[in-house]
Structure 1
Amino acid sequence: MTSSTPGTRRPGGRTARTRDAVRAATLAVLAEQGYQGLTVETVAARSGVHKTTVYRRWKNAEGLVADALELASGEPWPVPDTGSAREDLRALAQLVRSGFADPEMGPVSSAFIAAALQNPVAARALSAFFAERHRQSAAVVERAVGRGELPAGTDAAEVVRAAVAPVYYRLFISGEPVDGAAADLGADAAFAAARAGVYVT
């Protein structure tokens, strides 16, 4: 990663504090105003970091979004471990559903997706974020293969995608309600398909 990448510097000390302040301000603005309201000026005012510093390190709204997603991708994801692949996949789908339903973080998550639909920099950052989430979540499938619940060679990331995809479809495509039953149904379908060998590569 080059030094020209928005928001990247060697971590530690004042730089780390500045990055944390800017990230917190970015998330707050996204929660309150969405991606359309995200500007360097609003983040600078909210964070207390001088506007010229924000411009120099993050360049623009896309750089702010990309850096916030980069930081988020490095945070641990509470991957469930119930001892059952079906229940683990259900728990993953419920984590996604409850995240978007959260009054504080839900609007932020929706704003990230809106940003990705409008800007290639944000789109690449969101893709990397999801790749890391899928990598972490793949453990539920890998454990299931080890227990003999799912066939060897099952593509773990594809099963995870299938389990959570119906939640995103309802939220961002069809606009249908996403309740607990709907999330469970998507996870159950992914588990049944995986058990039948659909995702064996």
Structure 2
Amino acid sequence: MDSESMGPGTVRPGGRTARVRAAVLRAAGDALVEQGFDRLDLADIARRAEVGKTTVYRRWGTVPVVVADLLADMAEQSLPRTETGSLPGDLRANARLVRRTLSDPRQGPLFKAVIAAATCDARTAEALRRFYDIRVEEWAPCVRQAVERGEIPEGTDAHEVVRAVSAPLYYRLLTGVGPLRESDADRAADAAAAAARAGVYVRRGAS
């Protein structure tokens, strides 16, 4: 079975297939930022990408599938975690990466548009959940390592700690309370680390 007949994002295609996918996803991101989810159109995406409409319709079929593949590609392109040797350092590295992403002139508006789309389309919502599951799991080992070093209690929920780091930054992005500063990222990381040390994220029933 070749990559064209498989679900989008299930493989990392090469050659012309990769170029077509990259062009279409770039065009879809541009259109999503400019027009919003409700006005996305496969024919317009094909025009922007300079790709035949037949190719776009055959491979993706619907707008939600394109958006889901866009999120899959964003997850593939995300930078790996940084290990500093301490939980506060690792969480600050995570927070600063999130801050840089959300402050980017393209990525910030794109995330806002995708989150807005997820509120009205179940397939996009599921794709967004998968995207964040991948990113949270990428950084969860830094919390598990902190448990092993004795920095935080046994039974700490690594995923909840990582989510707690980025949540304040997304709040600032979505409410428009001001530009995201590095100090905001550090504050979010330090708060999550302090809460983890205090046992806030220990799972109930954990021994």
State the TM-score, normalized to the length of structure 1. 0.86
Cα deviation, residue 133, structure 1: 0.1
| Match status 1:154 vs 2:156 | yes
Counterparts of 1:28-47 in structure 2, within 5 Å, are 28-47=30-49
1:124-148, Cα deviation, whole Å (9 max, x unpaired): 0000000000000112212212222
Cα deviation, residue 6, structure 1: 5.5
Counterpart among 46, 59, 64 of residue 62 in structure 1? 64
Cα deviation, residue 122, structure 1: 0.6
**Counterpart-to-counterpart distance in 2, 1:83 and 1:40:** 47
| Range moving further from structure 2, 47-56 or 120-129 | 47-56
How large is the Cα RMSD of the aligned pairs? 2.3
SS in 2 for 1:74: helix
**Counterpart-to-counterpart distance in 2, 1:77 and 1:142:** 20
**Structure 1 stretches of 5 or more lacking a match?**
none
Cα deviation, residue 123, structure 1: 0.5
Counterparts of 1:163-178 in structure 2, within 5 Å, are 163-172=165-174, 174-177=175-178, 178=180
Cα deviation, residue 164, structure 1: 1.1
Cα deviation, residue 7, structure 1: 6.7
* Count of matched residue pairs: 198
Cα deviation, residue 15, structure 1: 2.8
SS in 2 for 1:118: coil
SS in 1 for 2:177: coil
Cα deviation, residue 31, structure 1: 4.0
- Are the aligned partners of 1:31 and 1:105 in contact in 2 as well (CA < 8 Å)? no
**CA gap 1:41/1:84 in 2 versus in 1, 3 angstroms:** same
| Match status 1:183 vs 2:185 | yes
SS in 1 for 2:187: helix
Cα deviation, residue 67, structure 1: 0.8
| Match status 1:22 vs 2:24 | yes
1:57-80, Cα deviation, whole Å (9 max, x unpaired): 212221111011112223343312
> Residue type matched to 1:110 in 2?
K
> Could you say which residue in structure 1 is the equivalent of 2:109?
107
**Counterpart-to-counterpart distance in 2, 1:90 and 1:179:** 13
Counterpart among 76, 80, 83 of residue 81 in structure 1? 83
Cα deviation, residue 195, structure 1: 0.7
Cα deviation, residue 89, structure 1: 1.1
**Structure 2 stretches of 5 or more lacking a match?**
none
Percent identity over the alignment? Answer: 51
SS in 1 for 2:119: helix
> Residue type matched to 2:103 in 1?
A
**Counterpart-to-counterpart distance in 2, 1:42 and 1:98:** 30
State the TM-score, normalized to the length of structure 2. 0.84
